[in-house]
Amino acid sequence: MSAKQLIEIERNSAQIKARSDEVWRRLVMKDFPDRPVPTANFRKAYVKYFKEKEKHLQNASIRLREGMKKLEEEKASRTITSLEVDPRAAKARAKFKASRAAPSGSRVIQKAMQSARTKGPLFSSKNVQFSTIHPPRSSTTAQQPKPTSPSKSTRSSPSKRPYNESSGNNSDEQISKKPTVVSRPVKRPQSSIFLPKR
């Protein structure tokens, strides 16, 4: 039985109204389990709790309506407008103009950064160029003896004469007859300091 039905019965028969306290107590416990159950006058307590609940529901519905109204206003402010020009293209154009208007120093830095990106690290094995080391040219050619001038005397001083074991002293004729042999330096193989030795 609901509270509305009980009120209708009490209105029709006054004798039930005096004996309906137990029914009102059960209705209070059923409809308002979170509220304390009074010791007496259960009908009055039920009406009080019912009015408080109605007021709370009205306030909640008002708050909900206000929130929905705000959402509608925000939605209306964010209307979608169609653009004739793509905004991303405009941004790209602006960036291009800014890069052209940039000072030359920043362009040099950008070029250096780009070359570093393409070539890789400075001391990478890709950037090392091996070169062969040749021996110096002066060591490969033998020095020819200088011819003696005819104006000078062919005789040398005794102190400068070389010693000959057979005759004791070598004469000028014997010295001039001896062939001059110049030892050629051994030619080194072409190699690189970066290549391992075989």
Most confident residue range from 34-43, 144-153, 169-178: 34-43
Query: Tell me, what amino acid is at 194?
Result: F
pLDDT band at 153 (very low <50, low <70, confident <90, very high): very low
The string of DSSP codes covering 22-75 is: HHHHHHHHHH-TTSPPPSS-HHHHHHHHHHHHHHHHHHHHHHHHHHHHHHHHHH
54-65 pLDDT tens trace? 999 999 999 999
H/E stretch holding 108 reads helix 104-119
Residue 161 token pair = 């004469």
Q: How confident is the model at residue 189 (pLDDT cuts 50, 70, 90)?
A: low
What are the boundaries of each domain within the chain? 3-77
From 41, 42, 21, 22, select the one nearest 32 (Cα to Cα). Answer: 42
Tens digit of pLDDT for each residue in 104-128?
A: 567 788 888 888 777 766 666 665 6
What letter represents residue 85's amino acid? V
Condensed to tens digits (0 to 9), the pLDDT of residues 19-40 reads 788 888 888 888 888 888 888 8
Collapsing DSSP to helix, strand or coil, 32 comes out as coil
134-143 pLDDT tens trace: 777 665 555 5
Which has more confidence, 81 or 2? 2
The pLDDT, as a whole number, for residue 126 is: 63
Output the pLDDT for position 59: 94
Structure tokens given for 84: 């004739």
Backbone angles phi, psi at 69, to 5 degrees: -65, -40
Q: pLDDT at residue 155 above 70?
A: no
Judge whether 178 and 162 are in contact, CB under 8 Å. Answer: no
